[in-house]
Structure 1
Amino acid sequence: MIEARGLARTFKSRGRSVEAVRGVDLDVSAGELVGFLGPNGAGKTTTLRMLTTLLRPTAGKATVSGCDLLADPLGVRRRIGYVAQGGGTTPELKVIEEMVLQAQFYGLSKSDAVRRSGELTKMLDIADLDQRLCKTLSGGQRRRLDVALGLLHDPRLVFLDEPSTGLDPQSRANLWDHIRSLREDHDTTVFLTTHYLDEADALCDRILVIDNGRIVAEGSPSDLKSQVSGDRVEVGVPAEHVAAAAEVAGTLPGAHEVSTVDEMVRFRVPRGDTALPEMLRALDTADVPITSVQVHRPSLDDVFLTLTGRTLRDAEKETAEQADGGSDGGSSTEKETAGVS
């Protein structure tokens, strides 16, 4: 469904060149649900905009849904669905009016547009909202409508850009079920960008991690987490016993990355569940009192830390503090060039 080689994009910003994407290679097979993970500024949104013909690559080539990205951008647009972060509805139109109108933009006849809109409102549980004005919908209802609009022309490949951002937990879980059904019940290939680690872990068959404009890892969530060496154990002790507790932790078989933060000793060990009893016995023998104990299995955030030296959450915070506004570096330039194909 997607094959990209050497995809790159350079922006001009304040008299200098900014390499937002630096030679991305990626493949997505038919029927896959693939997550694209990375912090703001990593090149995630720029890559998505290139693959959806909203931004012309500076270099590289790609085939998307059987069409050449550069030679046949119109063919790409006809074959894909795209659900942007901000959505795209007319506030004063009714839900059914919006859907029929956008279906006709795709070339469907009035009767086919009405039929297809009815199918999608049922599939995404918004059939009872079809007479509501778009502006009156809740966040979760609006996102389901956005997904429906991206499916009007029955594309085999759908791009979802941050589909659950800003939703409450119940609405997110509901939307996840609908995204799963696209692949499982309708054989739709889904390319999903997200900042939510739990979302990527729960939904995706495979994950691509991008950082500094390059793909730095790919694999299933379990494969990526297996790259992290061991479980993370955190043991809380009084401040005066931290040094002694850290020394004990260092003697455990396989223990590594021993560190201390305030009144907490942290380390990694191959099997946290089996190492913990030995740790507790050793601390008791050393007369070190314990205030808390936690064992964490590897997470996708641990994967990101292993790959880049920072957690995804730290990277998001760091980028937000440095940003002038927008995302993926050179955002103002990207807005100026959006739609070029």
Structure 2
Amino acid sequence: MRFLTWLLFLCTLLVFGSVFISPEDFPYVGLLPFLIPVAWLINFFLFIILTLSWRKLAFVPLAALLIGYRFAEITFQLNPKTDNPEGLQVLTYNAHLFNYKGRNGGKFDPNIFTWLQDHPADVKVFQEFYQNSTTPSRNAVKLLGEDSGLEVSYQIIEGKPKRNSYGLAIFSRYPIVNDGKVFEAQHTNGAIFADIKYNSDTVRIYNCHLESMKIDSESLDNIDGVKEKYRQTLGKLHRGSLERSKQLKVLEEHIANSPHPVIVMGDFNEIPYSNTYFRLSKTLKNAFETAGRGFGFTYNKILFFLRIDHIFTSQSLKAVDFKTHREVDYSDHYPVSATFQLENSSPESE
């Protein structure tokens, strides 16, 4: 028992430490963080068993739990609930081209635009944003921008402005004084920014869609699918984490050179136990950790336990509210919203 306990402790340290190693420096290290919840739970139950047995060996899994306390903190939160929070409200949503149900055998649901128009967020950012300029009921820029009284920064990845296109979009109730691309990748991935004039301050908004995990989640809903796809899935996870690490370097440099406080949000395709999450957490705060409740899962498919949509901010921005809108099932992601207050700004000045 002693040998197995210490072996588990060493393996746990290895798994915990993997978040501090870039996938670019060590092949397949990006896969180890997926084992962190398993390692934490095994140590928790082992601690209970050894404690009930009155074994001094219980201090070994206890030490592992204390070392890994940070992982419990980023997994589950019980922050106080805030009613009618005041401040700068933002929303991020991977919209799946506004046609998730249609692409999965159903019909296009126009209620997606109604919900997004009605949501009171001052800033709304979208990944996998689809624009159909020729069909009024699908003209997302007009419906979510002009008709809602919001300014728009829309960066096209593929398509033509006057026809059909898709890319990344930022909508703002406050004036957009500057915008541009951070990087652009194939398909729908990339990152853009927009500087908004918020009262007497300027805040830089980043909309990010990092490289996809490329997991065929539908094939993983049964044992046969898992057996058939596991090697292929591991390879895709590795290549995805490697590409996201490269993209993160570009994003980190851009953020470091920002002359304004930043809000960095979007679909990062990274779980909280990842090198990407911990690198961003070195200088930025995560809104879920500050104001979230529960687990905050954001994925709307068979792998429902994933939280891969995040909102990070500069230290000068305080999150007073955070919500994952699990009631909104128009995409394979749930919308995520948060409300912030600037330390040198007060709600009365808005």
So what's the TM-score if we normalise by structure 2? 0.28
Larger Rg: 1
Higher relative contact order (CA 8 A, sep 6+): 1
